[in-house]
Structure 1
Amino acid sequence: MTDRIWLQSYPPGVPAEIDPSVYRSLVELMEESFRKYADRVAYSFMGKDITYAQVDSLSQALAAYFQSLGLVKGDRVAIMMPNVPQYPVAVAAILRAGLIVVNVNPLYTPRELEHQLKDSGAKAIVIIENFAHTLEQCIGHTEVKHVVLCAFGDMLGLVKGAIVNYVIRNRRKMVPPFNLPQAVRFNDAIARGTRAPFKAPSIGPDDVAVLQYTGGTTGVSKGAALLHRNIIANVLQSEAWNQPVMDKIPKGEQPTTVCALPLYHIFAFTVGMMLTMRTGGKLVLIPNPRDIPAVLQELSKHKVHSFPAVNTLFNALANHPDFNKVDWSHLKVSLGGGTAVQSAVARLWLEKTGCPICEGYGLSETSPSACCNPVTSTEFTGTIGVPLPSTDIKLLDDEGHEVPPGQPGEIAIRGPQVMAGYWQRPDETAKVMTADGYFRTGDIGVMDERGYFRIVDRKKDMILVSGFNVYPNEIEETVAECPGVLECAAVGIPDEKSGEAVKLVIVKKDPALTEAAVRAFCRDNLTGYKQPKIIEFRTELPKTPVGKILRRELRDKR
């Protein structure tokens, strides 16, 4: 272990270590909250509040239903939904029945869904009807025998629920026709489970809780096997990290977190849903974060204390004319993750909310949080911060040797939040785990004398121009400062002279922005070999549903 020089940068009161053994399982954590906070609002969705007590009874009924189907401890159940309250109910039910959650991106194509269902061996799926047509096209090639079918209005009450479902199905035509004769409606499954016996299985810290599939940007999508203790550890690490500012919430005021990131993504799953559950907070579920006016309208109804988001969402919100309709004065922590936060966006956010964006870093394989800037920071650092409590990080060269301070190396992480391995892929696990238990991330970083880490880039995203390393993040960070640029992405393209050259794709904030202006700005701010050879303007950048820019697609569509 390194000498952990980053501990000197911890805010007062944040411990160097946490104890994940305080709970044997996530079920213990959830059931404690169901008891302690029974009357509190757990989830707020489309104007409807759902209490901890309701989540308790609904999830136990659904757990009994799963058991009545013959599902046994260790079986996998997929969830394919946006941020609707059935999601956390399903998660609690699956875990209480001793089953394993398989988080699925609802925007998957039939081919992608089939791969994940087959790879995980899922026997059941909880899916919203809007995407049932995708499942219909591939279910016959999988082991899935049981389908629980949800609709947006299921938990909104009879009248409002019926109206919402009618509008979504008939007015907005958001539910393509499908045929899944074996499907059971969510509320019917709850009713059946209420009449069925529930037998709580014995669940321990080393049981698998979640299969979290990595985005597949490095090849085939693999399931990171996250144990109960991995996610418990990350919840406790995140709670300890946020404590210095969350302690400032006035007594008697319920901590409120915005969940605009999708729950199938591990960032929202752990830092949104599970951390809020542990602290007895209220989670505001945002089903469609791309509808910025609707997001702002929803947030105007709440006192928001915590807001985990990605750079693209912070940027879109802060640039929207309705931004000031939300009272941001209660905001204690704005957590940026998933992808690099740009300093231009961070500056605008701080100017408009008074709450700086604390950039963090993590991966599906680390449940996800590994590093974060102190929540007491008053300015944006442009780094990913320091390792969280009980987390050790070192930087390795290609041979696996630790590099000296100030030198770039591959970030390798060890801590209680690091996955058990990739689901049924010991060969892939061996490629990323070192003999002494560090997970090799594939990200290149540098550590400064205070223990702060800075991402230089992913190994594979590096552009090699005439033997010089060019890192896309640096170019994007710089060009984002150019007046008139809303967002941008840099990729490498083949070049006869230099091997590779930089291509820059820009979305304009100011329609009058010209290529000449961008080139002049780049000449002033980037050394010769880093300057883009090709500049292209687009109306939008290709992104994952979480908001990460898909550089691969920009490379492929030259």
Structure 2
Amino acid sequence: MEKIWLRSYPRGVPADIDPDRYSSVVDAFHAACRRFRDRPCFTNMGVTLTFGDLERLTGRFAAFLKNELRLEKGDRIAIQMPNVLQYPVALFGALRAGLIVVNTNPLYTAREMEYQFRDAGVKAVVILANFADKLASIRANIGNPYAIVTELGDLFPTVKRVAVNAVVKYVKKMVPAYSLPGEIPFRSTITGSGRFEDVPVGPEDLAFLQYTGGTTGTAKGAMLTHRNIVSNMEQAAAWMGPRFIEGDERVITPLPLYHVFSLTVNCLLFMRYGGENLLVTNPRDFPAFIKLLRTEKFTVMTAVNTLLNALMNQPGFSEIDFSKLKVTVAGAMALQRNVADRWKKLTGTDIIEGYGLTEASPVVCCNPLDGTDRVGTIGLPFPSTEVRLLDESGNEVPVGQPGELTVRGPQVMKGYWNRPDETAAVLRDGWLHTGDIAQMDADGFLRIVDRKKDMILVSGFNVYPNEIEDVVCQHPDVAEVGAVGVPDEKSGEVVKIVVVRKRPDLTENELIEFCRTRLAGYKVPKIVEFRDELPKTNVGKILRRALR
């Protein structure tokens, strides 16, 4: 496919990046620490680590992993915690020790943890005490990995640390009883001194086993190399660079750093820029989140559609000062037009939507930041990224026609961990087959029509849930909606919507009539179900499979 999107690139954005600018994530980390040593890097609950602090603490942690635990290059280490200061210490420390990081959702059940840890063959787990009881219940089944346990306030000054940890454990009772024989307190791993000599790693060494969310079946570990991650960081830097000032950006980070979107965009991109990540440990604690936004000056925010929508409905939102905010970046799920329009009206800034997937480290496309963005699209392919849209026979479709989005670029994963057959199914001749249906316009802007697997087939017509959801959300009395297909004897499938109401007496007929004036007949929902809330993943994606 001709790279027609290059004609729409903003001024100053190159067509290609140098994927070998840094030899590894560790190389990029040290470069940032040298350049921004005294600047703030991560802040959580009023406590800040500078780049210099982070380099010192990660060296100590890496030394402990290598010298005390005798972990070797290529061993896997799981990190299971929300956005706390210990996360970047464990992350970069593990990478400096030559280990492969297995990011793990702390909300996982013991069964999900056992599957992922066993599949990855982890040798050690760094876990927040709040979730250690689940590790205790499965530890013997996964080869008794080392258990490094941290408490919420472990990197806070002494008085605050003791107070926070006591409140979490004894007042809020958020730490269930557990027994992990030989557990290693996190604080004991960072008490060493002296200079640590990093374990050498190269571009093709694995940096992460980043497991897919499991929403499409059995979770698989995407093998992301240091070159994959560095490439995506450099692509994002080239795309956003003209808008940002090195050493001057403060980014609100409510999405968990263990999620690949937040990992690359928040943790790594803003590390490269000498920016400060303001970590939000629990974004669902809206009063605390709103308080943070009211008390801090920030220039960038990343989030998902559902979180932005919820924030705007919180008391106190109108009192937030958005005067320094340059851009809000939305990813991980489709951005609804009414959310984008309302955010613009209330904050005065645009939401820039992008697109990515775990297998691409993750960003593939993003809207321009120069005012030429197009709401409803995922923007343009990143520098050094090629895309093709294919029909069912594998042929490229004409501009304007829907087809499966396939991607080629230095950010595309090496494959799935220990799954050669599944790797071969999605990686063909260097192209990643995403399973997403997209359309490209004459200027190269892409729009995701929907997930291939989520497509609804009504009497032979393709119906895309995103379109249905976007229409239903325009109803003033709808807070949230999810659309799915359910079996039907006559048409094969019909559209079902599950709705969270703003107005309690909103009826099924009102919504159907509302849709009837905005959608073709076969797209109009036939079934309406009302719920108090919609099931979501940890980052706010609606779990459509749970709606059927």
Q: Give the TM-score normalised by the residue count of structure 1.
A: 0.96
Q: Structure 2 CA distance, aligned partners of 1:300 and 1:32?
A: 33
The aligned residue for residue 148 of structure 1 is 148
Q: Given the alignment, which residue of 290, 312, 317 partners 1:318?
A: 312
Q: Structure 2 CA distance, aligned partners of 1:6 and 1:188?
A: 52
The aligned residue for residue 226 of structure 2 is 228
The aligned residue for residue 409 of structure 2 is 415
Deviations 1:483-530 (A, max 9, x none): 111110001111122111111111112334222221221111111111
Counterparts of 1:187-206 in structure 2, within 5 Å, are 187-191=187-191, 193-194=192-193, 198-206=196-204
The aligned residue for residue 493 of structure 1 is 486
Q: Secondary structure at the match of 1:328?
A: coil
Contact 1:360 1:372 in 2 (8 A): yes
User: RMSD value over aligned CA atoms?
Assistant: 1.3
- Give the drift of 1:144: 4.4
Q: Structure 2 CA distance, aligned partners of 1:300 and 1:31?
A: 33
1:244 is aligned with what amino acid?
Answer: P
Matched, 1:519 2:512: yes
The aligned residue for residue 242 of structure 2 is 244
Q: Given the alignment, which residue of 429, 441, 449 partners 1:456?
A: 449
Q: Secondary structure at the match of 1:11?
A: coil
Deviations 1:338-368 (A, max 9, x none): 0000000000100011111111000000011
Q: Structure 1 CA distance, aligned partners of 2:374 and 2:398?
A: 26
The 10-residue stretch of structure 1 (317-326 or 338-347) with the greater mean CA deviation from structure 2: 317-326
The aligned residue for residue 77 of structure 1 is 77
Matched, 1:327 2:325: no
The aligned residue for residue 343 of structure 1 is 337
- Give the drift of 1:82: 0.3
Q: Structure 2 CA distance, aligned partners of 1:380 and 1:138?
A: 48
- Give the drift of 1:93: 0.3
The aligned residue for residue 361 of structure 1 is 355
2:367 is aligned with what amino acid?
Answer: N
Segments of structure 2 that go 5 or more residues without pairing to the other structure are none
The aligned residue for residue 281 of structure 1 is 275
- Give the drift of 1:380: 4.7
Q: Structure 2 CA distance, aligned partners of 1:366 and 1:144?
A: 32
2:105 is aligned with what amino acid?
Answer: N
Q: Structure 2 CA distance, aligned partners of 1:394 and 1:379?
A: 21
1:100 is aligned with what amino acid?
Answer: I
Relative to structure 1, the CA distance from residue 378 to residue 517 in structure 2 (aligned partners, 3 Å threshold; closer, same or farther) is farther
Segments of structure 1 that go 5 or more residues without pairing to the other structure are none
Q: Structure 1 CA distance, aligned partners of 2:504 and 2:284?
A: 22
The aligned residue for residue 461 of structure 2 is 468
Q: Structure 2 CA distance, aligned partners of 1:277 and 1:549?
A: 30
The aligned residue for residue 88 of structure 1 is 88
The aligned residue for residue 138 of structure 1 is 138
- Give the drift of 1:319: 1.9
Contact 1:412 1:438 in 2 (8 A): yes
- Give the drift of 1:305: 1.0
Contact 1:225 1:422 in 2 (8 A): yes
Q: Structure 1 CA distance, aligned partners of 2:196 and 2:342?
A: 51
The aligned residue for residue 539 of structure 1 is 532
Q: Given the alignment, which residue of 438, 442, 447 partners 2:435?
A: 442
The aligned residue for residue 46 of structure 1 is 45
Contact 1:358 1:377 in 2 (8 A): no
Contact 1:136 1:180 in 2 (8 A): yes
Contact 1:361 1:372 in 2 (8 A): yes
Q: Structure 2 CA distance, aligned partners of 1:416 and 1:27?
A: 18
Contact 2:512 2:526 in 1 (8 A): no
2:35 is aligned with what amino acid?
Answer: K
Q: Structure 2 CA distance, aligned partners of 1:53 and 1:332?
A: 27
- Give the drift of 1:243: 2.0
Deviations 1:16-64 (A, max 9, x none): 1110211101111101111111111111100111111111111000000
Relative to structure 1, the CA distance from residue 3 to residue 378 in structure 2 (aligned partners, 3 Å threshold; closer, same or farther) is closer
Contact 1:81 1:128 in 2 (8 A): yes
Q: Secondary structure at the match of 1:194?
A: coil
Contact 1:245 1:333 in 2 (8 A): no
Q: Secondary structure at the match of 1:215?
A: coil
Contact 1:309 1:337 in 2 (8 A): yes
Contact 1:406 1:448 in 2 (8 A): yes
Q: Structure 2 CA distance, aligned partners of 1:508 and 1:413?
A: 38
Q: Given the alignment, which residue of 191, 204, 207 partners 2:205?
A: 207
Q: Structure 1 CA distance, aligned partners of 2:348 and 2:229?
A: 31
Deviations 1:443-466 (A, max 9, x none): 011111010111111111111111
Percent identity, please: 53
- Give the drift of 1:131: 0.4
- Give the drift of 1:325: 2.6
The aligned residue for residue 129 of structure 1 is 129
The aligned residue for residue 503 of structure 1 is 496
- Give the drift of 1:78: 0.4
Relative to structure 1, the CA distance from residue 421 to residue 479 in structure 2 (aligned partners, 3 Å threshold; closer, same or farther) is same
Q: Structure 2 CA distance, aligned partners of 1:47 and 1:225?
A: 35
2:434 is aligned with what amino acid?
Answer: T
Q: Secondary structure at the match of 1:315?
A: helix
Q: Secondary structure at the match of 1:518?
A: helix
Q: Secondary structure at the match of 1:334?
A: strand
2:187 is aligned with what amino acid?
Answer: N
Q: Secondary structure at the match of 1:7?
A: helix
Contact 1:296 1:325 in 2 (8 A): no
Deviations 1:135-189 (A, max 9, x none): 1111111134211101111011111011111111111111111111121111111
Contact 1:33 1:278 in 2 (8 A): yes
The aligned residue for residue 10 of structure 1 is 9
Contact 1:261 1:268 in 2 (8 A): yes
2:497 is aligned with what amino acid?
Answer: L
Q: Secondary structure at the match of 2:73?
A: coil
Contact 1:357 1:380 in 2 (8 A): no
- Give the drift of 1:194: 3.3
Contact 2:340 2:375 in 1 (8 A): no
Q: Secondary structure at the match of 1:113?
A: helix
Counterparts of 1:258-297 in structure 2, within 5 Å, are 258-297=252-291
Q: Structure 2 CA distance, aligned partners of 1:257 and 1:400?
A: 41
1:362 is aligned with what amino acid?
Answer: G
The aligned residue for residue 551 of structure 1 is 544
- Give the drift of 1:400: 2.2
Q: Structure 1 CA distance, aligned partners of 2:435 and 2:52?
A: 43
The aligned residue for residue 393 of structure 1 is 387
Matched, 1:377 2:371: yes
Q: Structure 2 CA distance, aligned partners of 1:537 and 1:377?
A: 38
Deviations 1:346-395 (A, max 9, x none): 00100011111111000000011000110123665201111011101001
Relative to structure 1, the CA distance from residue 330 to residue 383 in structure 2 (aligned partners, 3 Å threshold; closer, same or farther) is same
Q: Structure 1 CA distance, aligned partners of 2:54 and 2:476?
A: 48
Q: Structure 1 CA distance, aligned partners of 2:159 and 2:542?
A: 40
2:237 is aligned with what amino acid?
Answer: E
Count of residues paired in the alignment: 547
Contact 2:367 2:373 in 1 (8 A): no
Contact 1:122 1:144 in 2 (8 A): no
Contact 1:347 1:380 in 2 (8 A): no
